[in-house]
Structure 1
Amino acid sequence: MKNCILLCLIIVNVFSFGSYAQQSKIDSGDKKYENYAYIDAIKTYEKVANKGYKSEDMFKKLGNAYYFNSDFEGAAKWYGELFAMNNAVEPEYYYRYAQSLKSTGQIDKANRLLGEFNAKNKTDNRAKLYEADVNYLDQIKANSGRYNIENAGINSKYSDYGTFVHDNKIYFASARDTGNFSKRKHKWTGEYFTNLYIADVDSSKVKKFKTSLNSKFHESSPVVTKDGNTIYFTRNNFADGKKGKDEEKATLIKIYKATLKDGKWTNIVPLPFTSDNYSTAHPALSPDEKTLYFASDMPGTLGQSDIYKVSVNGTDSYGPPENLGKSINTEGKETFPYVTNEKEIYFASDGHPGLGGLDVFVGNLEDNGTVSGIQNLGADVNSPKDDFAYVIDPATRVGYFSSNKDGGQGSDDIYKFLETRRLKCIQELNGVITDAKTGAILPGATVSLYDNQVVKNTTTADAAGNYVLPVECGKTYNVRAEKEDYETKEVSITIGRVTGKTSLPIALDRGICRVTVGDDLGVCFGIKMIYFDLDKSNIRSEAAIDLEKILAVLNDHPTMKLDIRSHTDSRATFKYNEALSDRRAKSTIQWLIKNGVDKSRLTGKGYGETQLVNKCADGVECTEAEHQENRRSEFIITAL
């Protein structure tokens, strides 16, 4: 018995020692993880995991360490272990696991997880984007096959990425210089620090950018002004021989600026809106060089990193940073912006629906500062891995991008491309204006293009009756054709989503009706009813289009007066119908007054169900069409 007790104590002590040793390693891994030493953290965690130790927290950190280093195969493995233990984890892990699975080719499983992510976190912009475009792979397929791509010829077995072309030279970042005596590696990635390099375009001869711009830490993503006298670039927070650190003692990254003087880069300073406490990176200048775009995780960022812009007001003056907003930024990473003179912004994102990792997207920069029409560039540029740092010459359609996709020479490689087919959809709306009865062409007809009641363009039919208008792909417009002695006609048209032409012939009926006092002007234009939302009296867009026809006649006949009468069917109570129709008549009058008609020319009231035009009174069974006859608006001419 004594020996048994002794043996049991020995066994307990052995297990206690083993548990203590495991916990010690876990604590060591946590410390490395918290200090962003992800490669070292992975080694420590995996030693423990491979001995059978299981922990949700450890699996999360293992998955994250791989994920943040774009090793999606490793991330998928450990996120898989996490979900095997417990799938009731934070929604973010559903998204990261799905992204990792995409990168390993498990698209169906990834999409199922994205569906669960959407169900758990409907407020997340990434969830909304996925829900709005669950068939995103079809768009990616349609956008593929548009590039000739080749190795840029300047890659090494180390990381090479982030290009900028200036004066027939290509600037980029590379980790190829490992040092003569010591090899300095970044603890986050386990790779050597990058410096700036330069090569002639179409040359494989690469030279280190031998200037004071390069330090012993990271430099990357340079952009040079057109005059060649200013350079913006990304660097670890390091200046005057000192590292800047945030509150957690971590050295982040900043955008720096330098000026060329007597052939040397001098006055190397961080931009004034940078900080020790957040990162700013990957600068890009607008074509007029009055705006600087960049990526940051500064306070106010929607996700892991967002795209911002600042105005460049002078040599050393910048406006406040402006987040480009939810039209482009998600709860994920948006980074590496690039802007062209065609008002396009290219960027990398893992928040918009893609093939896995970072994909390259393009959107339109609108005048109000938002980004519209965002599209994935397709599977030529994009892959299941990280694809980013896309730049293009809009004239030649030649450019570069960076990727760690399979088949490269190093962890990141630079690829050169020629875009053989534009992604931007260009559409033309055309047609011929004719007489509806005789088919005769009607030269000189005015054709106007309306987008949400706003005139976007107007043209005149030529001698052959033809008109041509530029339009945007995928949009729905109203097209209005007008000619003297003909009734105005308005037609709705939805434009195709691929480059081409959309035909819309319009036939006009001859002879605007002649009216006199007592006539209903609405009958002239076929206006049976001014449309309102159910039980409301707000003017709808369809109603505004019809009211513009009435407005045009009133403007052409300044002495004309109208009595506006609104009617309902017999359904609902007598009192309710009377009040509703009266509100609608008054809303119609107010719309006309707001658009310039003197109120003295307008009278009106609602008649409810008191002037039915058929049998459909209370208690009488009628069809919907018969009830519709009673729901009408009248514009009775009271003076000319």
Structure 2
Amino acid sequence: MKKNKILLFLIVISFPLLAQNKYTKIADNLFERYEYVQAVKEYLLVNEKGKSDEYVYKQLGECYYNMFNTVESAKWYALAVKKDQDAETYFNYAQMLKANAKYEEANVQMKTFAIKAPTDQRAVDFNKNPDYLPALVDKDKLFDVKILDINSDKSDFGAILYNDVLYFASARNSGGKKYGWNDEAFLDIYQSDLKTDGNFSDPKPVSELNTRFHEGPVSITADGSTIYFSSESFNSNLYEKNNAKRLKFGQVHLFKAKKEDGKWTAITPMPFNDKKYSTSNPSIDKEGKILYFSSNMPGSIGGIDIWKVQVNNDGTYGIPKNLGDKINTAGDESFPFITDENVLYFASNGLTGFGGLDVFFVDLNKNDLPINVGKPVNTEKDDFALTYNSVKQLGYVSSNRSGEDHIYSSIPVCKGKIKVVVKSLKDGAVLMNSKVLILDENSNVIGTQVSNEKGEVVYDVDCEKIYIIEAFKDGYMTAKIPLAKIIGGSITVDVTIKPIDVVITEKEIILNPIYFDFNKSNITKQGAEELDKLVYVMSQNEALKVYVKSHSDSKGDDKYNLNLSDKRAKATVQYVISKGIDTSRISGKGFGETELKIDCKNKCTEEQNAINRRSEFLLVK
């Protein structure tokens, strides 16, 4: 359902034709009435009779294009372009090739299109970046996509969840007249209840809204009192006649209804509907003040554009406004959906994408350009009608990637933000130009940034993962902070780092005393902090070589103290080496109680003994 989905089509009621031509006139009349299924049969008959030419090939390409039979469409377009065609034919041919993942061949046709229509924005964008595909494929995944079990074997699309009710458009209705565009039943609005287990009840038609024509999709105000929906202009007696061909041409129009006693009543058409153009695919904002919709009304940039209109407090409407050329293109833009955060999602075949319709989004709070949502939401086929319920955190998207329009869940990939603020432990001052690393739970570095003038860096991270933050700055100690699992949203982490207060003389590097526990040689937390300062100084000057002298107190016998101090020297040397300093640059030895700092012998206080249990760092070079 190519343009049927975009709701560009005119609905046609025909009377018996009085005169027909034995070659293309029958097919042309069917094509003109958008009865593409029957038109294809007639054009194929012309082809079988050997009466084909580039016109017939193009018409077949167009029919299959509108039915989104990409393989057949590309086949006939290939024959048509053997002779010169209009620019749009080359563009459509390129779209069908892209839909078949034949990107190199599609680029050939896009180059011809760009030559024929150099000022068309689609051509301008293509010429700027003809090799866009790798970057598009490598985009971070924003949604997880899964097909729903409420789909039928017919077209189902345009799903949107209000409270616990899912509304969507479907051609599953087995009764009534079939639609000549795709030989399916006319669309109706259906609803299905969201059950506690996450599944949906059997869909039921919303009978008070459905007619013998097309209906859907819908949009409902936050308070549930008003529904906006697409239907046909025949329901409000708005259509044009072509007496010569005995046809009535209708449009797709917007209607609204009010809810009373659990039923939709008081159905009225929108005042800006007109028999000369379509208005469809509504989306009302959370305040119920702005209605977004798609239309080919005068002022449109392309075939179908996205528009908005003010909903006044007295129930009247303002003048529709086009969203402008940052969003709308010379192609088609449709299926707008406005989130509670004022982010607009919409479908486009004019912006750079994978092929067919792709879903894009743009933050209307900013002056940004639309961004392609990327895979797996978008494919080479038609992907459209993305909606999201922020309360339930459930989203839906429609796609014909399986060959038929179906509804898929589109659940946002959980993302979070970690803002790190680096400060000095000495005075709390923020530290700009600090190097901040983020590591995974296996200590693999996954990001490196430098703090700004506020001492800040911000990392976008995935949820349900453990991260570690490390902060470095010249003249400061390195700090490492493990974080709990991120569950979404933003968190702020203050990292305070200690200034390195080291005195370097001609003979030695003087640190704060490195104390050892009584009768032990292992490095204490306090000792590690001081040795990290030594590591930093040595890392900044590769010419430095250090000799470590470790001493004991005067308790115990001389031999035991000598052995204990030697263990302390070796432990100190090994710690520094473990931090990345080459073994050739540091060595050490224990001196026991032979060089007491305070010669108090057996009359030493505990404080004096602690001072004697020390290490010294002499400069060898």
What is the TM-score normalised by the length of structure 2?
0.63
Q: What is the alpha-carbon root mean square deviation over aligned residues?
A: 3.4
Distance across 2 between alignment mates of 1:161 and 1:304: 21
Instruction: Out of 114-123 and 276-285, give the one that drifted further.
Output: 114-123
Matched, 1:184 2:177: yes
Structure 1 spans left out of the alignment, 5+ residues: 1-20, 434-439, 448-461, 473-498, 502-640
Matched, 1:244 2:239: yes
Change (3 A) 1:394 1:265: closer
The one of 34, 40, 44 equivalent to 1:36 is 34
Distance across 1 between alignment mates of 2:180 and 2:28: 14
1:43 partner amino acid? K
Change (3 A) 1:261 1:244: farther
Partner of 1:467: 455
Matched, 1:301 2:289: no
Deviation at 1:214, TM superposition (A): 0.5
Q: What SS does the aligned partner of 2:22 have?
A: helix
2:40 partner amino acid? I
Matched, 1:392 2:380: no
Q: Percent identity?
A: 35
Matched, 1:209 2:229: no
Matched, 1:266 2:265: yes
Partner of 1:417: 410
Partner of 1:55: 53
Matched, 1:275 2:268: no
Change (3 A) 1:290 1:446: farther
Q: How does 1:503-522 map to 2 (within 5 A)?
A: none
Distance across 1 between alignment mates of 2:391 and 2:266: 34
Q: What SS does the aligned partner of 1:65 have?
A: helix
Change (3 A) 1:465 1:36: closer
Distance across 1 between alignment mates of 2:220 and 2:66: 29
Partner of 2:43: 45
Report if the CA contact (8 A) 1:237-1:245 is conserved: no
Distance across 1 between alignment mates of 2:331 and 2:453: 52
Partner of 1:104: 100
The alignment of Structure 1 onto Structure 2 pairs a total of residues equal to 424
Distance across 1 between alignment mates of 2:392 and 2:235: 39
2:72 partner amino acid? G
Deviation at 1:25, TM superposition (A): 3.1
Deviation at 1:151, TM superposition (A): 1.7
Distance across 1 between alignment mates of 2:40 and 2:315: 43
Change (3 A) 1:373 1:139: farther
Matched, 1:169 2:169: no
Q: What SS does the aligned partner of 2:184 have?
A: coil
Deviation at 1:469, TM superposition (A): 7.6
Deviation at 1:429, TM superposition (A): 9.1
2:305 partner amino acid? D
Deviation at 1:120, TM superposition (A): 2.6
Q: How does 1:330-349 map to 2 (within 5 A)?
A: 330-349=329-348
Report if the CA contact (8 A) 2:347-2:360 is conserved: yes
Q: What SS does the aligned partner of 2:81 have?
A: helix
Change (3 A) 1:420 1:469: closer
Matched, 1:289 2:288: yes
Distance across 2 between alignment mates of 1:316 and 1:25: 53
Partner of 1:364: 363
Report if the CA contact (8 A) 1:144-1:377 is conserved: no
Partner of 1:225: 221
2:188 partner amino acid? N
1:359 partner amino acid? D
Distance across 2 between alignment mates of 1:40 and 1:383: 29
Q: What SS does the aligned partner of 1:373 have?
A: coil
Deviation at 1:65, TM superposition (A): 1.5
Per-residue deviation, residues 397-420 of structure 1 (Å, max 9, x unmatched) = 4311111112x6xx2111113222
Partner of 1:154: 150
Deviation at 1:187, TM superposition (A): 1.6
Per-residue deviation, residues 469-501 of structure 1 (Å, max 9, x unmatched) = 8799xxxxxxxxxxxxxxxxxxxxxxxxxx999
Per-residue deviation, residues 553-588 of structure 1 (Å, max 9, x unmatched) = xxxxxxxxxxxxxxxxxxxxxxxxxxxxxxxxxxxx
Report if the CA contact (8 A) 1:245-1:252 is conserved: no
Report if the CA contact (8 A) 1:102-1:356 is conserved: yes
Partner of 1:72: 70
Q: How does 1:383-532 map to 2 (within 5 A)?
A: 383-394=379-390, 397-406=393-402, 411-421=404-414, 443=429, 466-468=454-456
1:184 partner amino acid? K
Instruction: Out of 137-146 and 122-131, give the one that drifted further.
Output: 137-146
Per-residue deviation, residues 292-332 of structure 1 (Å, max 9, x unmatched) = 10000011111110000001113531111100111011111
Partner of 1:454: none
What is the TM-score normalised by the length of structure 1?
0.61
Distance across 2 between alignment mates of 1:396 and 1:167: 8
Partner of 2:6: none
Change (3 A) 1:122 1:471: farther
Deviation at 1:441, TM superposition (A): 8.4
Distance across 2 between alignment mates of 1:57 and 1:429: 64
2:331 partner amino acid? G
Partner of 1:486: none
Q: What SS does the aligned partner of 2:46 have?
A: helix
Partner of 1:352: 351
1:244 partner amino acid? Y
Change (3 A) 1:312 1:42: same
Q: What SS does the aligned partner of 1:238 have?
A: helix
Report if the CA contact (8 A) 1:246-1:276 is conserved: no
Distance across 1 between alignment mates of 2:392 and 2:167: 19
1:68 partner amino acid? N
Distance across 2 between alignment mates of 1:500 and 1:76: 51
Report if the CA contact (8 A) 1:164-1:171 is conserved: yes
Distance across 1 between alignment mates of 2:262 and 2:219: 17
Report if the CA contact (8 A) 1:22-1:48 is conserved: no
Deviation at 1:427, TM superposition (A): 9.1
Distance across 2 between alignment mates of 1:321 and 1:466: 44
Q: What SS does the aligned partner of 2:168 have?
A: strand
Structure 2 spans left out of the alignment, 5+ residues: 1-18, 434-450, 461-489, 493-621
Q: What SS does the aligned partner of 1:342 have?
A: coil
Report if the CA contact (8 A) 1:211-1:264 is conserved: no
Deviation at 1:383, TM superposition (A): 1.5
Report if the CA contact (8 A) 1:178-1:184 is conserved: no
